[in-house]
Amino acid sequence: MAGAALLTAGMPGISAAFERDGNRKVLVFSGNQQVPVLDPHVRYDWSTRMIQQSVYDALLKYEGDPPRIVPWLAERYDVSPDGRIYTFHLVGTAKFHNGDPVDAEAVRFSFERGLKLNAGIAWMLKDFLKPENIVAVDARTVRFTLDRPFAPFISYVPWWYVVNPKQVMANQEGDDLGRKWLTENAAGSGPFRLRRFDANTLMHLDAVPDYWKGWPMADADRPSGIIYRIIREAAPRKAALQRREADIITNLTPDDIEQLSRVPGVVVENHKGSTTFGIKFNCQQGPTADINLRKAIAYAFDYDSLLAIHNGAAVLMTSPFPASMAGHIDVPGIPRKDLDKARDFLRRSRFPNGGIELEYVHVQGLEDARRIGLALLDSLRALDIRVNIVGQPWPTMTSRGSKPETSPNMMSVYVTPVGTDPDTVAYQYHRASWGLYYGTAHYENAEVSRWIDEARGETDNAKRMALYARIQTQIVADQPELFGMVANRIWARRDYVQGFSFSPVRFTGEIDLYPLWARG
């Protein structure tokens, strides 16, 4: 196994039920996606955030299904009557991995850093919170004063992880606030500390024996650590689980799920999700900048293929919002396959007879997305449009998608709401989302952006929901993407793996590693 040198000599062979480090077990989790940037204020996607949540803590945390927000570094918080001032009261026992206390200054610094870097998570709060309005009142009290009321505020707090300011600033280069150092290093207080970081191969995390929050399992059952092993292709990943080289895996094909469900000793975790799948069009450059071409593609696509590819473990989208999201409406007239309409829109486009080739990019090794590309290719033959299906590593995709000039014609993207508020979905269609992984369509409608801004600050819930209904309807009319489906979220694990917990606000393959342990 890659990274085996990290484990103790004389450990059992790869056919053993789990790896060992001394007298404790090491669980191996495998997926297809690397973790190129560990900095919690710069980047997030499913694999990145899974590791971030393991080595860092936040004031609050999402748990369970349906998701609920529970106290973590903050034991409680207060909100002023006008909805502008949030005061968090911290636990007194939290400490960073180097022994420094997690105090109000660390919280203040971390939120200030996230806002100043203006990357990754910054979009969640930057329009309503200025760095100078975050105050460490005393060692255990931190106060946030918003410029104006912001309804989703609490729903975003769980994703703002707290870093150790002493470690970060000791490793600052120029005025980068430790950004280069935190790419491959950690300064956290979470249940695990980083032992090895190889962005393209594996991460090895050591459990912190005296983690300030304690552990949810008996001390004898606490694992030594977790290895996140990156296996690009689905077939060897499935084989690793069957050979017990991996204890839990994700990024499974529907056929894999069917086969693994019949394997003794394997448990398939199959949960209704809220992660939407869409094919993002490049709305600014190339042929797909033409709305009529986008409409033609949307009406030519065989949506039933999405359900067939997932063996029925998915539902078609009826809106840009998942059906489980507050404010969701079924948008009238959302495209379904209709070749007459497709040809009519094609005639109105700059390519009335087709005769063009479009690039469709998906995550390398993600079989479902590749098969969807094949369905797209087959669907567009009727319009004489060729499709070049390209699998690329996720960092390559996001780098290409960060600019209209380099973004492909069509990109498959899964988007999980990062919270329970509709703003978490709506904001991906805001002009400010250009450059982020869910903003690769580079969609621009000034009116939609204005409505999103208005909804973010609206305190009357009925008015907010009316705005979101209008937002959904207009987005569908503008067709910045082919609205696909919401697939079930699925993992497979060995039956000795205990503590698995699903929450729909986690990203596609992401799980909470903290409660996992191995029986036996």
The DSSP-derived string for 437-495 is GGGTT----HHHHHHHHHHHH---HHHHHHHHHHHHHHHHHH-SEEEEEEEPEEEEEET
Distance CA 111, CA 96 (A): 17
Q: What is the pLDDT of residue 17?
A: 47
Q: What is the pLDDT of residue 18?
A: 59
Distance CA 465, CA 475 (A): 15
| CA dist list (Å): 179 to 105, 168, 170, 323 | 19, 8, 12, 37
Structure tokens at 78: 């207060």
Lowest-pLDDT range, 101-105, 186-190, 516-520?
Answer: 516-520
The phi-psi region of residue 251 (left if phi > 0; otherwise alpha if psi is between -120 and 50; otherwise beta) is left
Q: Are 223 and 515 in contact (CB under 8 A)?
A: no
Distance CA 467, CA 448 (A): 10
What is the tens place of the pLDDT at every residue in 272-307? Answer: 888 899 999 999 999 999 999 999 999 999 999 999
What is the tens place of the pLDDT at every residue in 70-99? Answer: 999 999 999 999 989 999 999 999 999 999
Structure tokens at 154: 């609490």
Checking if the pLDDT of 346 tops 60, the result is: yes
Q: What is the pLDDT of residue 486?
A: 93
For residues 334-362, average pLDDT: 98
Percent of the chain whose predicted confidence (pLDDT) is above 90? 77
Secondary structure string (H, E, C) spanning 217-276: CCHHHCCCEEEEEECCCHHHHHHHHHCCCCCEECCCCHHHHHHHCCCCCEEEEEECCCCE
Structure tokens at 110: 């971390």
Q: What is the pLDDT of residue 255?
A: 83
8-state DSSP, 10: T
Which DSSP string do the residues of 55-98 spell out, in sequence order?
Answer: H-EESEEEETTTTEEEESSEEEEEE-TTS-EEEEEE-SS-B-TT
Q: Are 238 and 365 in contact (CB under 8 A)?
A: no
For residues 364-376, average pLDDT: 92
pLDDT band for position 15 (cuts 50, 70, 90): very low
Nearest one of 460, 253, 504 to 365, comparing CA atoms? 253
What is the tens place of the pLDDT at every residue in 170-192? Answer: 999 999 999 999 999 999 999 99
End-to-end CA distance of the chain: 21
Cis peptide leading into residue 66 (ω within 30°): yes
What is the tens place of the pLDDT at every residue in 130-147? Answer: 999 999 999 999 999 999
Q: What are the residues whose beta carbons fall under 8 Å from the beta carbon of 396, sequence distance 6 or more?
A: none
Domains and CATH numbers, the chain: 20-226+491-518 (3.40.190.10), 273-487 (3.10.105.10)
The phi-psi region of residue 10 (left if phi > 0; otherwise alpha if psi is between -120 and 50; otherwise beta) is left
What is the tens place of the pLDDT at every residue in 475-490? Answer: 999 999 999 999 888 9
Q: What is the pLDDT of residue 6?
A: 37
Percent composition of the chain: helix, strand, coil (DSSP 3-state, to 5): 30, 25, 45
Lowest-pLDDT range, 15-24, 32-41, 257-266?
Answer: 15-24
For residues 363-388, average pLDDT: 95
For residues 370-383, average pLDDT: 97
- Name the pTM for this structure: 0.81
Nearest one of 28, 364, 423 to 228, comparing CA atoms? 28
